[in-house]
Amino acid sequence: MSDVHLALGGASFDGLVKITELPGQGMVTLRGDLADKTIVQAVQHAFGVALPGVRETAFDGENGALWMSPDEALLLCPYAEAEDRVSALTGHLQGAHALAVNVSDARSVFELKGRMLREVIAKLAPVDMSPDAFGPGMVRRTRMAQVAAAFWMDDASTARVVCFRSVAGYMFDILSNAAEEASAVNYFVR
Amino acid sequence: MSTRLPTQGRLINRDRDVAFTFNGTRLTGHDGDTLASALLANGQTLMGRSFKYHRPRGVVASGSEEPNALVNLGEGDTLEPNQRATTTEIFHGLKATSQNHWPSLDYDIGAVNTLLARFLPAGFYYKMFIHPRPFWKYVYEPFIRKSAGLGKAPAAEARDPDRYEHFYAFTDVLVIGGGVAGLQAALSAAQSGAKVLLLEQTPHWGGRTPVDGGTIDGKDAETWIAETVAALDAMPNVTLRSRTVGAGVYDHGYVLGYERLTDHAPEDRGPRHRLWRIRAAQVITATGAIERPLSFAGNDIPGVMLAAAMRDYVVNYAINPGDRTVIVTNNDDAYRTAIALHEAGLKVPAILDARPNGGGALMEEAKALGLTVKTGAAIAKVKGHKAVHSVLVTQQDSDGSETTEIFCDAVAMSGGWSPVVHLWSHCGGKLTWDATQAAFRPDHDKAPTSHDGQPFVIPAGSADGEMNLSAILQNAAKAGQTAATRTGADKSSDAAPTAEAPDEAPLAPVWMMPANAPLKLRAKAWLDYQNDVKVSDVQLAAQEGFESVEHTKRYTTLGMATDQGKLSNINGLATLANALGEDIPQVGTTTFRPPYTPISMGAIAGEARGDIFQPIRKTPMHDWHDANGAHWEPVGHWRRPYAFPRKGESVKDAVNREVLATRNSLGLLDASTLGKIIVKGPDAGRFLDMLYTNMMSTLKPGNCRYGLMCTENGFLADDGVVARIDEDTFLCHTTTGGADRIHAHMEEWLQTEWWDWKVWTVNATEQFAQVAVVGPNARNLLEKLGGMDVSKDALGFMEWKDGDLAGVPARVYRISFSGELSYEIAVPANLGRAFWDKLLEAGKEWDITPYGTEALHIMRAEKGFIMIGDETDGTVIPQDLGLDWAISKKKDDYIGKRAQARSHMTDPDRWKLVGLETLDGSVLKDGAYAIAGGTNANGQTNTEGRVTSTYYSPTLQKGIAMGLVLNGPDRMGEVITFTDGGDDTKTARIVSPVFYDPDGEKQNV
Amino acid sequence: MLLLTCPYCGVDAEETELHAGGEAHLKRFGPGASDEDFTAYLFHRENPKGVHFERWRHANGCGKWFHAARCTNTLEVFGTYKAQTTEPPKDLLDTIRAKRPGFRWRDLA
């Protein structure tokens, strides 16, 4: 949504990968037992996706769900719908012990596009980014340099990185720094 | 005088000249030269001065073990001291200067120390600088400081212009060292199916085998190396990295690699160094071996070189190290140098072999070339000062008194080879003494173990003590296969190639040359070149009772130089063992610690410099603050405006203006940084009752309550306002610095103690921008914005309500930290800036004034409200602060309750919170202590309190303070004395901490 | 730098993702507890050279607290397990007994 006031106003950088601050992303944090049937069904009803397995993602168009912990999921939807989705989800939960919170404004999302995205991430996160260890369909919560972050890959050349809104500037700067044109490691791609 | 040979030079390109300067003199080398080889090619054999005696020194080695040829590289912002000339690749425009001399390398005043050497033995500093004590500060310290330090530190204002970065790599097998052993180990591991990363510290593959000769699979070594590198490079499961040193091996397979990307090509863009943070399941250390010097008098004179290093300079760089070179050795390898020199057309007047019966096949080859071999021979002394003049030859089994002189201008020495066991040892690998080779080698039964308790480091090649080419390759192939198998790779690898190299006769350990050298010779036989430690120093240390090798190291500084004892270690140990009359293995080694060679601070910092040195957290209104002159205050990683000074206004004046404007009309505070944690569940009330000292479960939905949180120690940890959202849901505000910490605290108790309680938490801090609208006109402003009823009846003090202000969805809390009529309004973060702008616009008619943290602090202090971190410091309990009203008496338990019943916590003499007013209206010093009579057992002045918060109150136009004072609340009106930081004191009266509006009439309107 | 497997998300997490939380399996003593019990709960800690049970949090990760059984001498990790328990799992204890015969930790052996 273009009228969402982003932390960095939609900043972008072109280097080893193209880095773009994505426009408003609806995000709902769900706390609850992800194995609980009522909760699984409520998510299915409100977001149209099945809750993914451990460290996995599930997407259907603009809707998605990311596994964050055994009792936490990050649910994705269009920005403008987040509040309504929280209400819908809470309604479907029917008294099951759970907590759904709209966190769309609490976070910033960056897209990394390009074949070198694995090594840009590997400069910042203590995570094995080789294709046999990480790929589309998976999500990883970790740190990138000095801040908490989560990332996942939509396809071989697209990744999304989520961090707290207050450190969006820092995240953009470290990503851009890691993606400086002359700094290719050529580790994953030769 | 060294020069360039017409032939040889496999690593240099004679067609490409490279211009550089040394001590300002313009010199020319070739592409492929190291700084050391280029200097030698220009006849510059004198490269530096030693640390203690300022002895003239030339290059002694050809690799990272070099102790002498250290230079300052670059200038200004890029100046870097203590760079090894032997590992520095020259480039056009390189600027090097020599170190540790004044005024010049050729003429150095400090060299007078060498004349005083007999007065500067081991432990000199400890013995000399003891008495008299008054000299410590003004005589000895300046002297020691002046002589301390090697090389030149960059200027204070210099700023490193280069970029650095980290890279996280994961691999099955990491091979450190790209010599033939490393290449073969990598090949075997990769053929077995493992993922392999191979690091080599130099720009070249193959190590020293191309120089040493031999054939592999019937090919000359160089061909085999090129083919093997090509084969590895073509394998998808192999990564090769040259100019990358394996710097350290750490727990659980963690290894640091240090890649030098642009040191040799500074015009290249991109990072200068990259720190590889590698996690390897198995590590193969194919780190080679280092040749040992021999200990004879004058073994440090420029022109005396390790035999293999000299061979490197001849073969790799076409250097003529001297027209007449005497070889001195206790093993066969040095004969290769003799042969290489002879083949290069240089004269070798004699080969002095300390072994009574000489060597094997290589000796015969040398003899066949017509070279003179003297067995059982030794150097008694090298004559010369800045260059070798001659050697005095004697029998090894003698005291060196009977000598013959051989004129020469270079000496090549070899005391045998020590496997490079550093990386094996970093993480606990043990060593075993190999008497045949007189060297420590890895003890395979005591390998470093990883998280699974299994070995994870395998030494290969000469690093494992194998010195014959065929054995090296066999050993390395086995290491590669073993490592791969341990990682679960199940393919088989090809058999090791066969190699042919001459058989070598065993060495004879020689630790002093000649064996019975008198003191005058031993005092000129260097062990540690850089730190000027001689054979006589180690013997003196032993004589003075330093029996432990670790003590001897520190007493003599043996092995403490920047080469970390790479050359001196074994010779020093052997000398110590002999002096103590013990065997070398009993004396043991000093500890090998990473990094193997020095790595740059920039590489360690990685990207963390300049603007991204650390994260800066910004609120949605940050840019407005920045554009409006905010004077920033760091609060954790947040930046909060301290005040908004206007043009020409001091920060102090701005603070006072902001306080008065708020008290008199309308102020605005960005409170977005306050933590907001949502706590929900059937047990949420019960949980918060445990977390807070107050009773939270009785709070009614729609209401707010100020709460205190303690640690299990009873000490106050955080405070904030809790709002009950509905029956099951609470929103807990924390301090700015407390959001993450308190959220973690909640999760810790929920996950690890009360995991059966039904409670969920979410840290929603950043979902909202929060603004405090404060002052007598606060309600007027909100009513002007419109959208919801914020009247006294609709929204009473300590109530909250959801609604809509000026079209923005808002949650409005009527809470006050200033004592004024006040609303804290939370809006979605993305609308925060727009909402802030609306408030400013609509508030103009009341002279709306944004204020910063200092005005916030002053206003809360005027009201006697405590601040976590000011009134608390981790030793303060709520009862100390007169907050008993916030501690529920009805609850059986809360975190910290039991601790607060401990005897020291209930001691009536604990210092307690009071207000303080100076008698003259001035401001007390923050942290100042109240002085009580007399002194304590340590002779220190007794104290009876301290200032915790102190400000000038513009409202009251005088200094106000809070402090913790002995029996304070019982001493109202009493005047006590505070220090002023220095010798002055200030008197202050004990008063109530509530200075302003004690009845709360202003906030309750 | 240690590598511990988080039993909740399965990640082999390096230390920079983790937060160390001291000794595991402390029994909380609250109001009414004797000074002796409370002092022991608050301050007395095991400091073994050998087998130790510790708390860790996957702080830069799934956020979960877990327990690790580790040898403080060799840094061997015998296993990690979820924090919602008052004692180590039996199979882990068997593993440790096999690897470190005769080990003692508080009242475990």
Please give the ipTM for the structure prediction.
Answer: 0.98
Q: Tell me which of B116-125, B159-168, B322-331, B905-914 is least confident.
A: B116-125
Q: How far apart are CA C94 and CA C100, in angstroms?
A: 10
The type of residue at B416 is G
Q: What's the DSSP call for residue B235?
A: -
Q: Which residue do the tokens 């100076």 mark? A: B918
Using one digit for the tens of pLDDT, what is the confidence trace for B938-981? 999 999 999 999 999 999 999 999 999 999 999 999 999 999 76
Using one digit for the tens of pLDDT, what is the confidence trace for B806-851? 999 999 999 999 999 999 999 999 999 999 999 999 999 999 999 9
Domain at B1-159, CATH class: alpha beta
Q: Mark residue B207 as left, alpha or beta (left: phi above 0; alpha: psi -120 to 50; beta: remaining).
A: left
DSSP collapsed to 3 states, B165-178: EEEEEEEEEEEECC
The type of residue at B47 is M
Token representation of residue B977: 């004395």
Judged against a pLDDT cut of 70, whether residue B543 lies above it is answered with: yes
Among B254, B451, B752, beta carbon nearest to C77: B451
Mean pLDDT, range B884-909, rounded to an integer? 96
String of DSSP letters for B332-382: SHHHHHHHHHHHTT-EEEEEEE-STT--SHHHHHHHHTT--EEETEEEEEE
Mean pLDDT, range A5-25, rounded to an integer? 96
Rounded to the nearest angstrom, the minimum Cα separation between A60 and chain B is: 25
Q: How far apart are CA B952 and CA B918, in angstroms?
A: 11
Q: Which residues of C touch A143 (CB under 8 A)?
A: 16-17, 60
Q: Which CATH superfamily is domain A12-23+106-180 in?
A: Probable tRNA modification gtpase trme; domain 1 (3.30.1360.120)
Q: How far apart are CA B867 and CA C84, in angstroms?
A: 36
Q: Do B170 and A133 touch (CB under 8 A)?
A: yes
Q: Is the omega angle on the peptide bond into residue C48 within 30 degrees of 0, that is, cis?
A: no
Q: In C3-73, at which residue ranges do the beta strands (DSSP E only) sit? A: 3-5, 12-14, 19-23, 51-57, 65-71
SS3 category, A104 = helix
Q: Which residue do the tokens 């017409």 mark? A: B6
Token representation of residue A56: 């996995």
Asked whether the CA dihedral A142, A146, A149, A153 is positive or negative, the reply is negative
Token representation of residue B77: 């912002």
Q: Do A68 and C62 touch (CB under 8 A)?
A: yes
- Which chains form contacts with chain C, at 3 or more CB pairs under 8 Å? A, B
Mean pLDDT, range B262-273, rounded to an integer? 94
Judged against a pLDDT cut of 90, whether residue B882 lies above it is answered with: yes
Q: Do A69 and C10 touch (CB under 8 A)?
A: no
Rounded to the nearest angstrom, the minimum Cα separation between C30 and chain B is: 5
Q: B642-679 burial, b if ≥16 CB within 10 A, otherwise e?
A: bbbbeeeeeeeebbbbbbebbbbbbbbbbbbbbbbbbb
Asked whether the CA dihedral B88, B92, B94, B95 is positive or negative, the reply is positive
Q: What are phi and psi of A56, to 5 degrees?
A: -115, 170
Q: In B50-177, at which residue ranges do the beta strands (DSSP E only) sit? A: 56-57, 70-73, 80-84, 94-98, 164-176
The type of residue at B127 is K
Token representation of residue C37: 């019990």
Q: How far apart are CA A87 and CA A46, in angstroms?
A: 9
Rounded to a whole number of angstroms, the CA Rg of chain A reads: 17
Report pLDDT for B437: 93
Q: Do B898 and C31 touch (CB under 8 A)?
A: yes
Query: How many beta carbons lie within 10 A of that of residue C19, not counting itself?
Result: 15
- The ranges assigned to domains in chain B are 1-159, 164-289+419-500, 293-415, 519-582, 908-1005
Q: pLDDT tier at B1 (50, 70, 90 boundaries)?
A: low
Judged against a pLDDT cut of 50, whether residue C39 lies above it is answered with: yes
Do B293-415 and B164-289+419-500 fall under one CATH topology?
Answer: yes
Q: How far apart are CA B609 and CA B888, in angstroms?
A: 48
Q: How far apart are CA B955 and CA B853, in angstroms?
A: 16
Q: Which residues of A touch C17 (CB under 8 A)?
A: 126, 142-143
Q: How far apart are CA C23 and CA B1005, in angstroms?
A: 52
Complete edge-to-edge strand list for the sheet that includes strand B768-774: B800-805, B808-813, B822-828, B768-774, B667-670, B849-850
The answer to whether B143 faces chain C, any CB pair under 8 Å, is no
Among C29, C55, C75, beta carbon nearest to B251: C75
The percentage of chain B sitting over the pLDDT mark of 70, rounded to a whole number, equals: 99
Q: Which residues pair with B173 in a beta bridge?
A: B196, B282
Q: What are phi and psi of B315, to 5 degrees?
A: -75, -45
Rounded to the nearest angstrom, the minimum Cα separation between B712 and chain C is: 8
Going by their DSSP bridges, the two strands A107-113 and A63-69 should be labelled as: unpaired
Mean pLDDT, range B294-320, rounded to an integer? 97
The answer to whether A24 faces chain B, any CB pair under 8 Å, is yes
Using one digit for the tens of pLDDT, what is the confidence trace for B239-261? 999 999 999 999 999 999 999 99
Using one digit for the tens of pLDDT, what is the confidence trace for B986-998? 999 999 999 999 9
Using one digit for the tens of pLDDT, what is the confidence trace for B695-753? 999 999 999 999 999 999 999 999 999 999 999 999 999 999 999 999 999 999 999 99
Report pLDDT for B119: 67
Q: How far apart are CA B443 and CA C54, in angstroms?
A: 32
| Contact residues, B window 151-190, toward C, CB-based 8 Å cutoff | none
SS3 category, B822 = strand
By C-alpha distance, which of C46, C82, C76, C51 is closest to C64? C82
Q: pLDDT tier at B142 (50, 70, 90 boundaries)?
A: confident
Q: What are phi and psi of B448, to 5 degrees?
A: -60, 140
Rounded to the nearest angstrom, the minimum Cα separation between C63 and chain A is: 8
> How buried is B386 (Cβ within 10 angstroms: 0-12 exposed, 13-18 middle, 19+ buried)?
middle
Using one digit for the tens of pLDDT, what is the confidence trace for B564-610? 889 999 999 999 999 999 999 999 888 899 999 999 999 999 999 99
> How buried is B439 (Cβ within 10 angstroms: 0-12 exposed, 13-18 middle, 19+ buried)?
buried
Mutant choice from B171, B239, B766 vs A, greatest count of A C-beta within 10 A: B766
Judged against a pLDDT cut of 90, whether residue B688 lies above it is answered with: yes
Q: How far apart are CA C14 and CA A42, in angstroms?
A: 35
Rounded to the nearest angstrom, the minimum Cα separation between B754 and chain C is: 9
Q: What are phi and psi of B759, to 5 degrees?
A: -145, 135
The answer to whether C17 faces chain A, any CB pair under 8 Å, is yes
Measured between CA atoms, the residue of chain C closest to residue B714 is C42
Rounded to the nearest angstrom, the minimum Cα separation between C14 and chain A is: 7
Mean pLDDT, range A18-36, rounded to an integer? 97
Report pLDDT for A1: 40
Complete domains list, chain C, with CATH: 3-99 (3.30.2270.10)
By C-alpha distance, which of C55, A73, C62 is closest to B749? C55
- Residues 6 or more apart whose Cβ sits within 8 Å of residue B943: B929, B930, B931, B932
Note the CATH number of domain A25-105: 3.30.70.1520
Report pLDDT for A2: 47
- Residues 6 or more apart whose Cβ sits within 8 Å of residue B156: none
Token representation of residue B925: 């010093």
| Contact residues, A window 106-125, toward B, CB-based 8 Å cutoff | 106-107, 119, 122-125
Token representation of residue C14: 């390096």
Complete edge-to-edge strand list for the sheet that includes strand A12-14: A12-14, A18-21, A107-113, A158-164, A147-155, A139-144
Report pLDDT for A4: 87
Q: Do C77 and B452 touch (CB under 8 A)?
A: yes
Asked whether the CA dihedral B685, B690, B691, B695 is positive or negative, the reply is positive
Mean pLDDT, range B406-426, rounded to an integer? 97
The percentage of chain B sitting over the pLDDT mark of 90, rounded to a whole number, equals: 90
Q: Which residues of B touch A31 (CB under 8 A)?
A: 680, 760-762
Identify whether the C-beta of residue A23 lies closer than 8 Å to the C-beta of residue A6: yes
Q: What's the DSSP call for residue B645?
A: P
Query: How many beta carbons lie within 10 A of that of residue C28, not counting itself?
Result: 16
The answer to whether A146 faces chain B, any CB pair under 8 Å, is yes
Using one digit for the tens of pLDDT, what is the confidence trace for B429-471? 999 999 999 999 999 999 999 999 999 999 999 999 999 999 9
Judged against a pLDDT cut of 60, whether residue B54 lies above it is answered with: yes
Q: Do C42 and B453 touch (CB under 8 A)?
A: no
- Looking at domain B293-415, which CATH architecture does it have? 3-Layer(bba) Sandwich (3.50)
- Residues 6 or more apart whose Cβ sits within 8 Å of residue C104: none
Asked whether the CA dihedral B774, B775, B781, B787 is positive or negative, the reply is positive
According to CATH, the topology of domain B164-289+419-500 is FAD/NAD(P)-binding domain (3.50.50)
- Looking at domain B519-582, which CATH architecture does it have? Orthogonal Bundle (1.10)
Biggest alpha carbon distance in chain C? 42
Report pLDDT for B123: 74
Judged against a pLDDT cut of 60, whether residue B685 lies above it is answered with: yes
Token representation of residue B800: 């909250």
String of DSSP letters for A30-63: EEE-TT-HHHHHHHHHHHSSPPP-TTBEEEETTE
Q: How far apart are CA A17 and CA A174, in angstroms?
A: 13
- The ranges assigned to domains in chain A are 12-23+106-180, 25-105
According to CATH, the topology of domain B908-1005 is Elongation Factor Tu (Ef-tu); domain 3 (2.40.30)
Token representation of residue B114: 């060498």
- Residues 6 or more apart whose Cβ sits within 8 Å of residue B492: B191, B192, B481
Q: pLDDT tier at B151 (50, 70, 90 boundaries)?
A: confident
Judged against a pLDDT cut of 80, whether residue B135 lies above it is answered with: no
Q: pTM for this one?
A: 0.95
- Residues 6 or more apart whose Cβ sits within 8 Å of residue A4: A23, A24, A79, B830
Identify whether the C-beta of residue B424 lies closer than 8 Å to the C-beta of residue B248: no
Among A125, A129, A146, beta carbon nearest to B615: A146
Q: Do A126 and B168 touch (CB under 8 A)?
A: yes
Q: Do B752 and C83 touch (CB under 8 A)?
A: yes
Judged against a pLDDT cut of 90, whether residue B141 lies above it is answered with: no
Rounded to the nearest angstrom, the minimum Cα separation between C59 and chain A is: 8
Judged against a pLDDT cut of 50, whether residue B505 lies above it is answered with: yes
